[in-house]
Amino acid sequence: MDATSNSVLSPLQKEIISGLTAGTITTIVTHPLDLIKLRLQLAAIDLKPSSYYNQVQRIIKDGSGTQQLLKEAYRGLGINIIGNAVAWGLYFGLYRCSKDVVYSLSSEPALQNKFMNDRKMTSSMYLVSAGASGLATALLTNPMWVIKTRIMSTKSSQGYTSILNAITRIYTEEGLKTFWRGLVPSLFGVTQGALYFAIYDTLKLKYLHDRNDIQERRLNAVETIGIISLSKMISVSSVYPLQLLKTNLQTFRTEHNENSKMNSLIRSIWHTNGIAGFYKGLFANLVRAIPSTCITFGVYEHFKHIS
């Protein structure tokens, strides 16, 4: 009998709840690093690029020059929590469904044991499954990322005063379509998540389980950190320029200038900073992404094994 049959929650419910919980905890812990990364990305078209130190100094000061570190470091936390919790919950839930669909299309006989089915999948099947769930998640959550970018790209003494204020102003001043700005690079950027899951699941299911295992076991800390770090470094570095383009297209400052179109934005970044401009903030992103992903997947793996 499948051990999951005695569980209070179904595999899909576990995936969704684990994703929601992991997304919320990770966002609270790593929000300041996310804010630094976002503002560094927006500096990609600056004629005089700032150092990391100068960017951090600007972030922790308000318009009058007084330091309000905690308040400024957590600006936009509400929409970031909502966006990440919903996105991770959707992603994990859809990924579970996508793996089931992709596996059902293969020539392998289906079993009730989800773990055994997953182990029979190839890396390309993980890639397709993660890509499909990522595309759906990107389409559904893009408005939240636009709101997040608008709020977090400005100081607390400027710009939008709340989530509702941001929604109202964007809709009345720029129209409904603005909520899907940056969607094209976001959809291309789905390849980052797809690559990550393909590498992560391949390492976890193919190399960290004995061939005689019939149930998924909980990974220890070293195993979890190892496969997460390797998977994240490869996937983030591969598609980082797309993430940078998405952030710059979603910010309010491109709405009324020549960089409101992707082609113009690419030319502008290339002209001002060259190829390095497309990787502006990559180090800050990795510093944030690896620990945050360790937290996300550590929490996810923990909650997934709770009945």
Number of independent structural domains in the chain: 1
pTM: 0.76
pLDDT of residue 66: 45
pLDDT of residue 217: 84
Q: Which amino acid is at 222?
A: V
pLDDT of residue 148: 92
The CATH number given to whatever domain includes residue 291 is 1.50.40.10
pLDDT of residue 14: 86
pLDDT of residue 4: 44
Domain range holding 221?
3-304
pLDDT of residue 3: 44
Q: Which of 26, 27, 36 is nearest to 60 (CA)?
A: 36
Averaged over successive runs of 10 residues, the pLDDT of the chain (307 residues) comes to: 56 87 89 82 62 60 54 85 92 94 87 87 94 95 93 76 91 92 85 92 89 84 91 90 82 56 84 86 83 87 75
pLDDT of residue 176: 93
Residue with tokens 């180090």: 283
